[in-house]
Amino acid sequence: MANTWASGNDGKASFGGTELDIQQWTYGEAGSDGDTTHTGGSGVETVQVVSTAYTGTIEGVWDKDADPTSTPSLRRGQTGTLKLYVSTTEYIEVAVVILSLEATSNVKDVIKYTINWQATSAPSTLP
């Protein structure tokens, strides 16, 4: 039986009145774990998830048609919403805060940005 692989998909970001198209994104889950042992575990350590942090990056290019007067007014600490598409109809939606923003400009190329984000609530996957 042949495998069906998912291809990469884009995303959308909304920060205040600024809408961004995402060309590349990452998504990760990590957090704090508590290590415990119990009588039923024969001394084997059991991991208990204490808290989860959702983090990632989004990358794209400045779109002058979307914001014709200037580059988007994005700043560290600004909150917004991401839709990270895993297919043409399904996406992970998550409320985020910007941890850092980097813009890159090369002669004869478009201005690109990278935003590092952290979720402010648990994400949801929508059809």
Q: What are the contacts of 96-104 at 24+ separation with CB within 8 A?
A: 96/120, 98/15, 98/74, 99/55, 100/76, 101/74, 101/75, 101/76, 103/62, 103/71
Residue-range domain boundaries for the chain: 11-29+47-126
d(CA 38, CA 45): 8
The answer to whether 60 touches 21, Cβ cutoff 8 Å, is yes
Does the pLDDT at position 79 exceed 70?
A: yes
Q: Is the pTM of this model over 0.85?
A: no
Q: Give the DSSP H or E segment for 5.
A: none
9 exposed, middle or buried (CB, 10 Å; 0-12, 13-18, 19+)? Answer: middle
Residues 11-40: tens digit of each pLDDT: 888 888 778 888 899 999 988 877 776 666
Residues 99-115: tens digit of each pLDDT: 999 988 888 888 888 99
Does the pLDDT at position 61 exceed 70?
A: yes
57 φ, ψ (degrees, to nearest 5): -135, 155
Record the tokens describing residue 108, joined without a space: 């004869």
- Cα 115 to the chain's mean position, in Å? 9
